[in-house]
Structure 1
Amino acid sequence: MMDKRLTRSDYLFAVTFIFMLVFALGTFFFGLKMGQERSAAKYEELLTKQNEGSKTYGAYHQQYLVSYYHTIYQPYREFHNKWFDKLGELESNPSADASLIMKELSKLAKEKYDQLSAKSMPDSSPLLQEGLQNYAKSLKLFNEALGNFQAKANSYKGSDLIAEMDKDAYLTEAKKYALAAQKNYYDAILKWNETENAQLKHVDVTKELSLNDWSTLSLNMKNDYLANALAAAVNYTPYTPQDLSSRIDEMVATGQARKMNLAQVQQVIDVLNATDAIRTGDFIRSKSKWYPNETLPQLPFFFSQN
């Protein structure tokens, strides 16, 4: 029989192999620990820089406003724009399938609600957090209310269906939440403006404002005033506050407001709405004329109609 006993060299090889294996494992775990510590230190440094940045620029740094625009505001506007497009279709096309329109709008509201529900805003920016919550509540109510209208929509002609929808309590609440969210966003933009201009003139957004006082305000203050006014009146419109600002400023600059004996901002708003004189994109079309030197955050709706 073959002798199976291990020789001295076999033992030496085995011991050496085990030693090398232990050494290799020790080196691996030591390197892993060092890597984790370095990563933690680097992350801590980034957090410190972020916190320092927040202290320097405030809770409404431009990067937060831009992030909110793309992840919260723009998804909601996709539903918002479709809502007004479809209402226009109901009014202008007698053969429009109202039930299908209700179904499409309800489905889109649900999609956008799900999209926004997966998003968050920094704890340091409560206005943006509240805006996100209000837009989500709005979409949820739109989804539910439009679903309820789907079965009976085709029993109305277009204008009558729109009149019924205007009376619906759930749709009214959906609009209120959307307008509250819009107000939150423009409040936040004004907070950002305060970091750029500590001497920014403010007004009480809950009170009537004369056109003389209006003319002394920055565009961000005007927009914020109008966002608050639209929310208070539950005026759910296709246009933005800056579109309305530009039309008011045009009325003042051209003397139309004076010729019509209008002295208060709300009076001008009422006239513009009654005559359907405000269009989406009015701000962009007149920006270079009326606002060449305004300080604005780098948000797409201040620089492009789309």
Structure 2
Amino acid sequence: MEKRLTTTAMLFSLGFVFMLVFAVGAFFYGIQIGTEKAEAKYTAKSEAGKKSEDTAPYQQQELVSFYLTVFSPYREFQAEWLTVSDKLLRGGNLDAGSAFKNLAKLADQKAEEASSFNMQKSPLLGEAQVAYIRSLKYFKDTAAKAAADKTNDPAKLLEHIKSDKNYKSAVGESLAAQQAYYDAMQKWAASVDPAIPAAYKAATPMSVDQWDKLSLIVKNRVAVSHLSERGELFGFMPQDLTSRVDEFIRSGQASKMKLNTVGGIVDILLNTRAVDAGDFSANKARFYQSETLPQLPFFYSE
């Protein structure tokens, strides 16, 4: 004989089923919420760690070590490269094949020197080191190709070099390295002088008044940006350009020529080749006696 469930038993059974479904749903919902919270917490920690790394102050010794082990070897090569390029430009007496063979060997040697000390613990300096080494390797390839070029016309040979993709990459890497190095200097300056920002986004265009309110270390970073935009190699340093801009403004030349933007002044100075290596040293006593600078040779050479 079949037993029929009473109304109370049926209600009890249905209630139990609903409670079971609700409990399972709540369990999985709880897992989802917990997972999302854990992921959010991990992401926040990761971003905080990255932010801490990006804004970490740089020690002066790190900047000096980079100067001695990476920057100096690169600059020694660049000086030789610019000397040979200048002779080609002027059409002077030059055995181009021999000169570029020597430059290829020198680039390889200086790349090894720049690799001898590990700067990777300092993110910006590590970035600059890698870029300078890449630049030297691209210069090596460019020089090897130029050495095999049978062009007898110095002007045409120089044109071939400057249109070569390896040369363009070499210049681009050099400018990227310079930018990272000067970024590291600014972060160091910010750690010793609260008035200096660890990073600075320049106004475009930047007015003369805005420029005048900046500290030297930030002006140098702005100068680096202008040089990067030009995509050229120059024998002078960014601080040489900075000092010429300041001199141009303070002498009244900018006002006379109605130049109200830093970009306009930079264009005039670079287009007329009015910036030379050593301009910063010549103006340092007049303009920058109280400025915060790391103890790097190119800021203190006389």
- TM bucket, shorter chain: 0.7 to 0.9
Structure 2 gaps of 5+ residues are: 1-52
Other-structure match for 2:76: 78
Letter in 1 for 2:58: Y
Superposition map of 1:37-186 within 5 A: 58-123=56-121, 125-152=122-149, 154-186=150-182
TM-score, normalised with respect to structure 2? 0.78
Where 2:97 maps in the other structure, the secondary structure is helix
Matched, 1:256 2:253: yes
Q: What displacement does 1:95 show?
A: 2.6
**In the TM superposition, what is the alpha-carbon distance from 1:145 to its structure 2 partner?**
1.5
Q: How many pairs does the alignment contain?
A: 249
Whole-angstrom distance in 2 between the partners of 1:207 and 1:167: 29
Q: Deviations over 1:199-249 (max 9, x none)?
A: 225641373211110011011000011112212331321111000000000
Partner of 1:272: 269
2:195 corresponds to: 199
Q: Residue 232 of structure 2 aligns to a residue in which SS?
A: coil
> What pairs up with 1:277-296 in 2 under 5 angstroms?
277-296=274-293
SS in 2 for 1:295: coil
Amino acid at match of 1:151: A
How high is the sequence identity, in percent, across the aligned residues? Answer: 37
Residue 146 of structure 2 contacts residue 157 of structure 2 at CA under 8 Å; is this kept in 1? no
Does residue 221 of the first structure (1) align with residue 213 of the second (2)? no
TM-score, normalised via structure 1 length = 0.77
Counterpart-to-counterpart distance in 2, 1:176 and 1:206: 23
Distance 1:241 1:182 in 2: 9
SS in 2 for 1:84: helix
Matches of 1:173 and 1:273 in 2, distance apart? 22
C-alpha distance in 2 between matches for 1:73 and 1:186: 12
Q: Structure 1: which 4+ aligned runs deviate by more than 4 Å?
A: none
Answer whether contact 1:206 1:228 (CA < 8 A) is retained: no
Cα separation, 2, equivalents of 1:175 and 1:77: 13
Q: Which moved more, 1:143-152 or 1:198-207?
A: 198-207
Letter of the structure 2 residue corresponding to residue 92 of structure 1: R
Structure 1 gap segments, 5+ residues each: 1-54
**1 CA distance for matches of 2:58 and 2:65?**
11
Give, as a single letter, the amino acid of the residue that structure 2 aligns with 1:181.
A
CA RMSD of aligned residues (A): 2.0
